[in-house]
């Protein structure tokens, strides 16, 4: 291995005593391909078969904690009959030497009624979307239990941990967002009350860990930096961080499209968002940074800013199934940074991903409803 990359391959000890072997993380990537019960399909297996080699951590794609929250084809974690699939994901990651974290999500009002198995589409505030129902107290309690139940399934399946999907406008962020949450009860209104749903989920998952005496089971939280249209800026996200660092978490994970992006509102625009978040966390938890990093040199330079303890790679992993191998062996020039139709055999994309490319649709997760169904 080229010695200059050694810093990326240092291990990291989480606050619960678990060691992650290096700083490289496979970012959660939805590949729009799963069976009717969330199972791995032949094309999904083909896509994932070797992509974790060399990575310390693999964060699974958005995994549905409840049928009412399904918005696209993705894995499920709401029933014991899904354990064989979850175990298969675990095996895939562990065989390649990576730890596996399941990302727990619910689409809230962005769920697709034709995918929710007859369950109503739910939201903190149903007036936001036609066909969505405002969640009542019982439904909120049930939803918190659904997140905890998914963590229980994660433990039973042999996962190394779970990450709460609190970013990108899904249910957890819908509760946090003043634009999506107009409630006036315990679960909405003031900033403090808009935190209650996500804090309750963290506590419920922590209780599951305690019940199973699994303090080594990792719990992470992913958040958006700011979403002015959703009514929150960097200022609110910094206050969210202040609340999160007091909880029994092992890491924070910010969702960025560019590692070096700067704030739009609510913070010093001279600094990058990541730098500002990292300063605010002040070493209380490690942070995963992400966004438009491809080559070993780009990843190393980003890591050496010191703004994040881990670096996640999304599109680089999609285009380069052997990314870490290429970095280790000094083949930076062979790392692909843009999609090339000549190389589709190498990418092994799923049919829905290829179809989206053909139709020039944005594959990014922010617009999954625009990705066509598998043919």
Ligand X SMILES: Cc1cc2nc3c(=O)[nH]c(=O)nc-3n(C[C@H](O)[C@H](O)[C@H](O)COP(=O)(O)O)c2cc1C
Could you list the residues that contact ligand X (CB under 6 A)? 27-30, 61-62, 103, 165, 167, 222, 255, 257, 290-293, 313-316, 363-365
Q: What is the DSSP string of 150-187?
A: HHHHHHHHT-SEEEEEE-TTSHHHHHH-TTT----STT
Structure tokens at 16: 């619960």
Nearer to ligand X, 291 or 296 (CB): 291
Taking the complex as a whole, how short is the minimal distance between the CB of residue 190 and ligand X, in angstroms? 27
Distance CA 316, CA 289 (A): 14
Nearer to ligand X, 202 or 313 (CB): 313
Taking the complex as a whole, how short is the minimal distance between the CB of residue 113 and ligand X, in angstroms? 20
Nearer to ligand X, 24 or 29 (CB): 29
Taking the complex as a whole, how short is the minimal distance between the CB of residue 28 and ligand X, in angstroms? 3
- Cα Rg of the chain (Å, integer): 19
| Whether the Cβ atoms of residue 286 and residue 14 lie closer than 8 Å to each other | yes
Taking the complex as a whole, how short is the minimal distance between the CB of residue 163 and ligand X, in angstroms? 8
Determine whether 21 is exposed, middle or buried from the number of CB atoms within 10 Å of its CB (0-12, 13-18, 19+).
Answer: middle
| Whether the Cβ atoms of residue 165 and residue 104 lie closer than 8 Å to each other | yes
Residue with tokens 């913070």: 267
Nearer to ligand X, 130 or 360 (CB): 360
| Whether the Cβ atoms of residue 97 and residue 51 lie closer than 8 Å to each other | no
3-state secondary structure of 232: strand
Residue showing the smallest CB distance to ligand X in the complex: 314
Nearer to ligand X, 83 or 364 (CB): 364
Taking the complex as a whole, how short is the minimal distance between the CB of residue 343 and ligand X, in angstroms? 17
Taking the complex as a whole, how short is the minimal distance between the CB of residue 293 and ligand X, in angstroms? 6
| Whether the Cβ atoms of residue 110 and residue 71 lie closer than 8 Å to each other | yes
Nearer to ligand X, 183 or 299 (CB): 299
Residue with tokens 């303890």: 309
Q: Where are the alpha helices (DSSP H) in the chain?
A: 42-48, 83-95, 137-157, 171-176, 191-194, 196-211, 234-244, 273-281, 296-304, 315-319, 323-328, 344-347, 351-358
Distance CA 338, CA 190 (A): 44
Nearer to ligand X, 92 or 183 (CB): 92
41, 93, 229, 337 from 50: Cα distances, Å: 15, 9, 39, 19
Nearer to ligand X, 266 or 314 (CB): 314
In this structure, the number of other CB atoms found within 10 A of the CB of residue 54 comes to 21
Taking the complex as a whole, how short is the minimal distance between the CB of residue 105 and ligand X, in angstroms? 7
Taking the complex as a whole, how short is the minimal distance between the CB of residue 44 and ligand X, in angstroms? 13
Nearer to ligand X, 68 or 103 (CB): 103
Taking the complex as a whole, how short is the minimal distance between the CB of residue 5 and ligand X, in angstroms? 18
Determine whether 185 is exposed, middle or buried from the number of CB atoms within 10 Å of its CB (0-12, 13-18, 19+).
Answer: exposed
Taking the complex as a whole, how short is the minimal distance between the CB of residue 290 and ligand X, in angstroms? 5
Nearer to ligand X, 20 or 302 (CB): 302
Distance CA 33, CA 47 (A): 10
């Amino acid at each position: 291995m080229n010695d200059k990359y050694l810093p990326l391959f240092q291990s990291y000890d989480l606050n619960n005593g678990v060691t992650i072997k290096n700083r490289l993380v496979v970012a959660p990537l939805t590949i729009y391909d799963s069976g009717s019960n969330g199972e791995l399909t032949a094309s999904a297996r083909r896509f994932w078969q070797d992509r974790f080699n060399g990575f310390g951590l693999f964060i699974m794609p958005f995994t549905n904690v409840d049928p009412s929250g399904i918005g696209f084809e993705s894995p499920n974690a709401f029933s014991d009959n899904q354990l064989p699939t979850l175990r298969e994901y675990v095996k895939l990651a562990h065989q390649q030497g990576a730890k596996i974290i399941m990302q727990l999500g619910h689409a809230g009002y962005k769920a697709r009624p034709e995918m929710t198995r007859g369950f109503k589409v739910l939201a903190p505030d149903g007036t936001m979307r036609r066909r969505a129902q405002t969640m009542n107290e019982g439904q909120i309690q049930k939803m918190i239990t659904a997140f905890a139940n998914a963590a229980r399934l994660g433990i039973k399946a042999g996962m190394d941990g779970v990450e709460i999907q609190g970013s990108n406008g899904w249910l957890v962020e819908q509760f946090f967002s003043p634009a999506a949450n107009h409630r006036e009860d315990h679960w909405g209104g003031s900033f403090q009350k808009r935190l209650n749903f996500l804090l309750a989920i963290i506590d419920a998952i922590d209780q599951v860990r305690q019940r199973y005496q699994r303090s080594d089971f990792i719990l992470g939280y992913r958040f958006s930096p700011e979403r002015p249209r959703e009514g929150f800026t960097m200022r609110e996200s910094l206050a969210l961080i202040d609340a999160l660092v007091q909880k029994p978490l092992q890491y924070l994970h910010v969702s960025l499209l560019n590692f070096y992006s700067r704030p739009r509102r609510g913070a010093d625009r001279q600094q990058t968002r990541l730098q500002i978040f990292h300063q605010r966390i002040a070493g209380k938890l490690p942070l995963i940074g992400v966004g438009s990093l491809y080559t070993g040199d780009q990843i190393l330079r980003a890591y050496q800013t010191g703004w994040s303890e881990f670096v996640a790679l999304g599109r680089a992993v999609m285009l380069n199934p052997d990314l870490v191998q290429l970095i280790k062996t000094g083949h930076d020039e062979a790392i692909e940074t843009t999609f090339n139709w000549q190389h589709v055999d190498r990418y092994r994309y799923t049919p829905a991903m290829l179809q989206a490319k053909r139709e020039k649709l944005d594959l990014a997760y922010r617009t999954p409803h625009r990705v066509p169904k598998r043919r």
